[in-house]
Structure 1
Amino acid sequence: MENRVDVISNFNDKKKKLIVVGSVLFTFIVFLLVLSVNLGRADISISEVIKIIYGKITFDEKILGDISKSKIAIVWNIRLPRILIAIFVGWGLAVSGTVFQSLLMNPLADPYTIGVSTGAAFGAVIAIYINIFILENPIPITPFAFLGAIFTLFLVIKIANKNGYMSSSNLIISGIIVSSILSAGISFLKSASGEQVSAIIYWLMGSLDSRSWNQVILSFPVIMILTFVCIYFSEDLNILALGECQARSLGVNTKKIRSIFLISASLITAVCVSVSGIIGFIGLIVPHMLRFSLTSDNKSLIPLSALLGSLLLLFADNISRVLFNVEIPVGVITTLFGGPFFIYIFISKNKSIQ
Structure 2
Amino acid sequence: MALVAGLAVLGVSLSFAISVGAIAVPIETVWGIFFDKLGLWSGEPTWSKGRAAIVWEIRFPRALLAIMVGAGLAMVGACLQAVTRNPLADPHLLGISSGGAFGAILALLHTGLFLGLLTVPILAFCGALLATLLVLMVSRWAGAMSADRLVLTGVAISFVIMACANILIFLGDPKATHTVVFWMLGGLGLAQWSHLIYPLAVLMPCGLWLWLQASKLNAMTIGDETASTLGIAVGRFRLTVFVVSALITGVMVAFSGMIGFVGLMVPHVVRLIVGGDYRRVLPVSALFGGIFLTWADIGARTIMAPEDMPIGILTGFVGGLFFILLLRRK
TM category (shorter chain) comes to 0.7 to 0.9
The structure with more radius of gyration = 1
CA distance in 2, matches of 1:226, 1:129: 29
Q: Does residue 1:331 correspond to 2:307, yes or no? A: no
* Inter-CA distance 291–66: structure 2 relative to 1 (3 Å threshold): closer
Secondary structure of 2:79's aligned partner: helix
Q: Which residue of 2 aligns with 1:56?
A: 37
In structure 2, stretches of 5+ residues that fail to align are none
Closer, same or farther in 2 for the Cα pair 1:26/1:201, shift >3 Å?
same
1:79 alignment partner AA: R
In structure 2, give the amino acid aligned to 1:284. Answer: L
2:10 to 5, 23, 29: 29
Q: Distance in 2 between matches of 1:290 and 1:62?
A: 41
Q: Give 1:198 deviation, angstroms.
A: 3.7
2:157 and 2:128 mapped to 1: Cα distance?
Answer: 7
The change in CA–CA distance for 1:205 and 1:260 in structure 2 (over 3 A counts) is same
In 2, are the aligned partners of 1:91 and 1:305 still within 8 Å (CA)?
yes
1:250 and 2:230 matched: yes
Q: 1:147 corresponds to which residue?
A: 123
Q: What corresponds to 1:71 in structure 2?
A: 51
Q: 1:234 to 1:70 in 2, by over 3 A?
A: same
Secondary structure of the structure 1 residue equivalent to 2:276: coil
Per the alignment, residue 268 of structure 1 pairs with 248
TM-score normalized by the length of structure 2: 0.86
CA offsets, 1:216-273, max 9 Å, x none?
A: 1111231122111111111111112222222111222324432432222221111211
1:187-202 aligned within 5 A: 187-193=166-172, 194=174, 197-202=177-182
Partner residue in 2 for 1:322: 302
The alpha-carbon deviation at position 201 of structure 1 amounts to 2.7
Secondary structure at the aligned position of 1:341 is classed as helix
Distance 1:93 1:156 in 2: 15
Matched, 1:97 2:77: yes
CA contact (8 A) 1:142 1:275 kept: no
CA contact under 8 A between 2:73 and 2:91: conserved in structure 1? yes
Identity percentage of aligned residues: 30
TM-score by length of 1: 0.80
The alpha-carbon distance between structure 1 residues 252 and 200, as it changes in their structure 2 partners (threshold 3 A), is: same
Give the one of 18, 21, 24 matched to 1:40: 21
Q: What is the CA–CA distance in structure 2 between the aligned matches of 1:339 and 1:173, rounded to whole Å?
A: 16
Give the superposition deviation at 1:338.
2.2
Q: Deviations over 1:77-101 (max 9, x none)?
A: 1000000001111111100000001
User: In the comparison of the two structures, how many residue pairs are matched?
Assistant: 323
C-alpha deviation, 1:294, in angstroms: 4.0
